[in-house]
Amino acid sequence: MTRTPVLSKPKPSPPLETYTIVVNDVPVKDLLFAIARDAAINVDIHPDIQGAVTVNAIGETLPRILKRIEGQVAIRHELRDDTLVIMPDTPFLKTYRVDYVNMERNSSSQVGTSTRIATASGEATNSGGGNTSNTLITNVSGNRFWKTLTRNIIAILNEADTRRPGIQGQEMGNTNPMNSNSVIINAESGLVTVRATAAQHRDIALFIDRVMTNARRQVLIETTIVEVELSDNHQAGIDWETFTTGAGLRAAQSIMGAFSSHLSSQNTTGLTIRYADAPSGSGKLDVSLTVKLLQQFGNARVLSSPKIMTLNNQTALLKVVDNEVYFEIELEEKEDEKTNTTDLTVKTRVKTVPVGLLMNVTPQINDQDSVTLNVRPTITRIKEYREDPGVAIIANRLANSNITSKVPIVQVRETESVLEVKSRQIAVIGGLMQDRVQKDQDGVPWLKEIPGIGNLFKYRYRGSVKTELVIFLRPTIIRDANIKTELSDFRQFLDQ
């Protein structure tokens, strides 16, 4: 039997001794010798140390006093065994650990519309005597973390040289920043080595710490896309004011239907839903509650409910589509004058059209628990098929030919918006309404097929249905990406 010894409670470290120093324009060498004598420590001072200092320190520790002296004279100190070594603040190498993925990302997207009619060559021509309208939104995002970090560190070194021109070994003013020998980046291992003075190293360490704090922020974006088939009493659309009555919610919307923030987009209805009686972590902070409230305006159907988690200023892409296949047929007809026959050559090309949901989002997370989102959801579906008239014309000229080429007509519903939302609040993008014509036909079997009188036994229905597309967005800033803490809601999806 082995008995584990019980460790005694750790004893607190004794407090550091404090000193009081009041000097005015005293040579720094004389002051350092006096401090070492009073502190009863060994000291080595480099012969090139020069300058005078003025210090009024009352009841401060030795490291604090030395730091104040280094702020006035270009020196730095090291403690080697029991000896305090004072040397000029010349550049030296120091390595920093920067844990970030070694990758550059570039993303771009375009949303555009035009009233001009396209010609067969793909060019656009005016159709109304110059009465045309064009709108194009282009978003370009680039994440070049390591190159940007290198430029920033070199900028810190150059600015420090300007403030302190007397430091030796720093002649970077005429060098190319990306070819500087003072900053060595090894992105594969996550190491940054910098040759700089002690004062510059303090600025660089503070800068890298702030950069990594911001770059590592991440957000979970929950999106729910709902299509509401509006009832006869709500043909004008969803009335968001009803959400403020007896629902435990508070909805805010401006008169123009845009977000109160200056970052809102046009032609969309934007508002933020806040839960009036639900504290943080409550079960009421759920998008499904808001979706259920839409049932009073008609039949609500959830088209998609994706969830994306991404880092700060990193574009995330979600694509859930079916690549529907159709064929492009090219017919070539040649007449043979000798045999008086027609040769038909048929060539086909396989083409696909994505049908489903495509969403990309780029978040910017600030230190006030707010998230600025650039979001672009796109929903596509095949509305109907149309026959290629060129193929039909040639097929009609041929005897016993049933060649057809059906081209899909794709309905696209998308919005591109920039908005700012508090963490765990729900933002809504609505107002995407459309009219859909429904056709139906039924009748008495057999009798409806009789020529002439068959129409008496047929029933035809043609109606119009108005729908509104509503997009709910809820960003949640994740500080601890752990299934046991902030991601505990997803535990149910894991295998037990």
Q: Tell me which amino acid residue 189 is.
A: S
Give the pLDDT score at 2: 64
Residue 464 burial (10 A CB sphere; 0-12, 13-18, 19+): exposed
What architecture does CATH give domain 18-88? 3-Layer(bab) Sandwich (3.55)
The more confident residue out of 389 and 363 is 363
Strand-pairing partners, residue 229, are 299, 467
Say how far apart CA 468 and CA 483 lie, in whole Å.
36
Say how far apart CA 201 and CA 217 lie, in whole Å.
25
Say how far apart CA 199 and CA 70 lie, in whole Å.
8
Say how far apart CA 403 and CA 395 lie, in whole Å.
6
pTM for the model stands at 0.69
Count CB atoms within 10 A of the CB of residue 354: 15
pLDDT tens, position by position, 42-94: 999 999 999 999 999 999 999 999 999 998 999 999 888 889 999 999 999 99
Identify the CA nearest to 471 among candidates 319, 337, 304, 278. 304
> Quick check: helix, strand or coil at residue 356?
strand
Asked if residues 312 and 363 have their Cβ atoms less than 8 Å apart, the reply is: yes
The domain spans of the chain are 18-88, 91-103+181-216, 220-235+284-320+355-381+410-493
Asked whether the predicted pLDDT for residue 298 surpasses 60, the reply is: yes
CATH code matching the domain that covers 91-103+181-216, chosen among 3.30.1370, 3.30.70, 3.40.1360, 2.60.40: 3.30.1370
Rg (CA), the chain: 36
DSSP H or E stretch at residue 70: helix 62-70
> Quick check: helix, strand or coil at residue 311?
strand
Asked whether the predicted pLDDT for residue 259 surpasses 60, the reply is: no
Identify the CA nearest to 472 among candidates 299, 280, 269, 327. 269
Asked whether the predicted pLDDT for residue 212 surpasses 90, the reply is: yes
Mean pLDDT calculated for residue range 256-264: 38
pLDDT tens, position by position, 400-457: 667 778 888 888 888 888 888 888 888 888 777 777 666 666 777 777 777 777 776 6
